[in-house]
Amino acid sequence: MAMLMDFIPEAIALGAIFSTDSKTGLLLALFIGIQNLPEAYNSFGDLLNSGFSPNKAMLILIPFSLAGVVAAIAGYLLLAGQQQLVASLMVFSAGAILYIVFQDIAPMAKLKNHWTPATGATLGFMLGMIGEKILS
């Protein structure tokens, strides 16, 4: 549920951003794709661990990805120029991803004295800053 609360609003916002600024839309699409790959991998693994076969897990996840495409098209067609509403959707989406991180992901992390997560977060933030500077 939390994954969809993150994915659908961000897909709507992505479509809306593409309607007004394709460069920023492309950058945002790249970031969303990078963020959603491990999320999708973990969701697939969770379904397998719950007893679903790989084929059944894919049948469950594929409609969710198609819902994202429909949401992006809706955002493109219906929210062009609605910056305040798009910003609100992104804040809602950010809240959902924070919930996912602190409810599901962080409690399961068992890394001690490991630099990879902090470095990954720092590099991701730096990539966003570089991308923004390239666009401006």
Phi, psi of 60 (to 5 degrees): -75, -40
Task: Give me the residue spans of the domains in the chain.
Answer: 2-135
> Tens digits of per-residue pLDDT, 28-50?
888 888 877 877 888 888 899 99
> Tens digits of per-residue pLDDT, 59-91?
998 988 899 899 999 999 999 888 888 888 888
How many Cα atoms are found within 13 Å in the side-chain-facing hemisphere of 120?
7
* DSSP secondary structure, 58-112, as one string: HHHHHHHHHHHHHHHHHHHHH-TT-HHHHHHHHHHHHHHHHHHIIIIIHHH---S
pTM: 0.71
